[in-house]
Chain A
Amino acid sequence: MKSRNRPLKIIVIIVLLIVSCAYLLPIYVMIVNSLKTLPEIMQRTYLAFPRVPQLQNYRSALFGSRDFLIPMARPIMNSTLITVSVTVLACFFGGLGGYYLSRTVTPFTRVVFILVGIALYMPYQAIIIPLTTITARTGLINSHLGLILCYMIINIPLASVLMGTFFLGLPRELEEAAEVDGASKLQTYFNIVIPISLPAFASVAIIIFTQVWNEFFIGLTLVTPRTQTVQVAMAMTQGSTISPYNLQMAASLLTVAVPLLSFVLFGRYFIRGVLAGALKG
């Protein structure tokens, strides 16, 4: 489709300009203001460029300073531990379950699939009160394990649907050949299916990683100071009037750095992942 008429081109240019401004502006504001001194932010417009880039703002945001009491280093460590564990476990168990669902059609697997499908859009609000009760009773509330288990409740079904959909599209010749050679189902899965499914696993891992890293509701309800996640810490900087604006912006950048970096590095998998996970909001 090539466009030759001029008015259309002009409309396209205007629309694209507006769109790129709308998407560049917020990230510009975030970066520029994270590099200013506090008086600079107060006295000049937010859009102004920093006079001297204040790189030490990031150190203060990470480790705290006299007037920034929410150091991000620990929440970042917590979130990394929780998110990586959930991603690995969900991919592993979800892959197993998804493979079984995609290779067996019985009334039982149909029921399981329907239950898994509903689990995908389960609002956390519908399960949070029992989750608080369970984690408080068992003492899990004070450990990272509690949050990891809670996130796995939603993310194992998600991983099994995404991986299952992928496995459905895989040609079955290789697996059949392996079975004829006497391999068990499990051997076939681990030796034949997993090696050719690594790109799909990568996509699913990225979507789950981003989602768990960015999750706020469960975090807000279930974290204790020991397990505070990065989004909860970030929300605290927004809620308090005392947090200096420049450090708040530096903390924002630190919060989005990991998923944004994975977006830049693995964009291809990322897009495939979000497309596959389309219905998980």
Chain B
Amino acid sequence: MSARVESARPNRPRKKTSVPEFLVFTLPLLLFLVILYGTVIWNFYVSMTNWVSIAPDYSFSGAKWYVYLFRQPRFWVSALNNLKWLILGVVPTATAAIFLAYLLEMAPFPGVEAYIRTLILYPVAMSFVVTGTIWSWMYQPDKGIFNTIIRSFGVDSPFSFTNDPETATYWLIVIFIWQYLGFSVIIVQSSFRTTELQEMIEAATVDGASRLRILFSVIIPNIRSGIMVLVSLLLISSLKVFDIVWVVTRRGPGIATDVLATNMIVTAYDQRLFSAGAAIGVIIFLIAFILVIPYTLYAFKKWFE
């Protein structure tokens, strides 16, 4: 807004920034950007070399390590798990967040609303390492909290949670959803709070539309940019997931819960296949890059308008 006000008065003399000033303002940022992109390019180059021991070996070997990875069943195990994370970490979280935000917004009990909002937000302050530690207690098959509760109803629990290779990844995703739900609700709620939307909701209520109808035909179409920000955030966080897997199952049982990020660190630092590890890093970066294109375009448009 104010940018437009300013350009409407072009005759006002604007001081130019002197070169030393320019350097003070931007040099630190530029320096770290150069380091960042330098390391990205360096890493990309490492993925094309033949570095397979502790000592770096920068002899060019083309796409050899990418081919190596793609031929490996283990790579596909972790890639498939990442896909599960991307779908199940995002869709249920976003859906639940929209419903919960709407429920809280209707606020039949105002005090309760504030309490719930604060309560579900506290995991934002916690690290996945701690969350994972606590949840592995909840998940223990013998003495864990969930099975204790199930048994107190007199039923034998059918779940062995993260100890079952078939379903372990899903139980890990539950932890992720738990951690991000409160945060997602806040993002959705902040996009509810525009005056236009509130007026539209009121008009629809006066017209006698049902609450579900209002949610689907008035609210959701009007908070698309909020949902887009939320989905991008969840996509990128579930793609980068590392801590939960490392702490709760350490990729196990076997490699059943391996994801690209854990695969990368084992490949590079345990097996010393640095080039292959770098290649996985490049792949993660490319997926991240593609996933957030919609958000990036949106953010740039907002910034430069």
* A interface residues with partner B (beta carbon < 8 Å): 1-3, 8-9, 12, 15-16, 19-20, 22-27, 29-30, 33, 45-47, 93-94, 96-97, 99-100, 104-105, 110, 112-119, 121-131, 133-134, 152-154, 156-157, 160, 164-165, 168-172, 176, 179, 184-186, 189, 210, 213-217, 220-221, 231, 234-235, 237-239, 245, 248-249, 252, 255-256, 259-260, 262-263, 267, 270-271, 274-275, 278-279, 281
Asked, given contacts A15-B103, A127-B281, whether A122 binds B232 with beta carbons under 8 Å apart, the answer is no
Q: Which residues of B contact A221 (CB under 8 A)?
A: 265, 269
Give 7 A-B pairs besides A127-B36, A160-B29, A168-B3 with Cβ atoms closer than 8 angstroms: A1-B205, A20-B116, A45-B148, A100-B17, A119-B33, A184-B21, A215-B127
- Contact across chains for A216 and B148 when beta carbons are under 8 A apart: no
State whether A256 touches B250 (Cβ < 8 A): no
In the assembled complex, which residues on chain A have CB atoms less than 8 Å from the CB atom of B222? none
Binding site for A on B (CB under 8 A): 1-3, 5-6, 12, 14-15, 17-18, 21-22, 24-26, 28-30, 32-33, 35-40, 42-43, 46, 56, 100, 103, 105-109, 112, 115-116, 118-138, 143-145, 148, 178, 182-183, 186-187, 190, 201, 205, 211, 229-230, 232-233, 236-237, 239-240, 242-243, 246-247, 250, 260-261, 264-265, 268-269, 274, 277-278, 280-282, 284-285, 288-289, 292, 295-296, 299-300, 303-304
Q: Which of A26, A170, A238 has the most B CB atoms < 10 Å from its CB?
A: A26
Question: Of all chain B residues, which has the CB nearest A1?
Answer: B106
Q: How far is it, in angstroms, between the C-alpha of A26 and the C-alpha of B181 when the chains are bound?
A: 15
Determine if A153 and B36 form an interchain contact, defined as CB atoms under 8 angstroms apart.
yes
For chain B, what secondary structure do more than half of its interface residues adopt (helix, strand, loop), or is it mixed? helix
Query: What residues of A have a CB within 8 angstroms of the CB of B6 in the complex?
Result: 172
Q: Known: A97-B29, A237-B133. Is A119-B127 also a contact (CB below 8 A)? A: no
Given contacts A93-B28, A105-B304, A153-B35, contact A234 B274 (CB under 8 A): no
Q: Quick check: A256 and B127 within 8 Å, CB to CB?
A: yes
Please list the 7 inter-chain residue pairs (A to B) with the smallest Cβ-Cβ separation, ordered nearest first. Answer: A97-B29, A281-B237, A214-B127, A93-B28, A100-B25, A126-B285, A130-B39
A127 and B134 contact, Cβ closer than 8 Å, known pairs A19-B100, A278-B229: no
A72 to chain B, nearest CB (A): 12
Which chain B residue shows the least CB distance to A152?
Answer: B32
Q: Is the CB of B40 within 8 A of A127?
A: yes
Measured CA separation A29–B140 after assembly (Å): 13
A–B Cβ pairs within 8 angstroms, 30 of them: A29-B145, A33-B137, A46-B144, A94-B29, A105-B3, A112-B26, A117-B296, A121-B288, A123-B261, A125-B261, A126-B281, A128-B43, A129-B46, A130-B38, A130-B42, A134-B39, A168-B3, A184-B18, A186-B25, A216-B128, A234-B130, A237-B133, A252-B134, A256-B125, A259-B125, A259-B126, A259-B127, A278-B233, A279-B292, A281-B236
* Contact (Cβ within 8 A) A96 B265: no
Residues in A neighbouring B29, C-beta threshold 8 A: 93-94, 96-97, 112, 116, 156-157, 160
A153 to B237, CA, bound (A): 19
Q: Is the CB of B103 within 8 A of A12?
A: yes
Residues of A within 8 A of B303 (CB): 113, 164-165, 168
Smallest CB gap from B127: residue in A? A214
Q: Are A100 and B22 in contact (CB under 8 A)?
A: yes
Contact check, B304 vs A217: say whether CB atoms are below 8 A apart: no
Contact, CB under 8 Å: A117 / B299: yes
Establish whether residues A104 and B106, one from each chain, have CB atoms under 8 Å apart when the complex forms.
no
B301, chain A: closest CB distance, angstroms: 12
**A156/B28 in contact, CB under 8 A:** yes
Chain A residues with CB under 8 A of B115 = 20
| Chain B: CB-nearest residue to A24 | B119
B288 touches A131 (CB 8 A): no
Complex contacts, B277 vs chain A, CB 8 Å: 129
Q: How far is the CB of A205 from chain B (nearest CB, A)?
A: 14
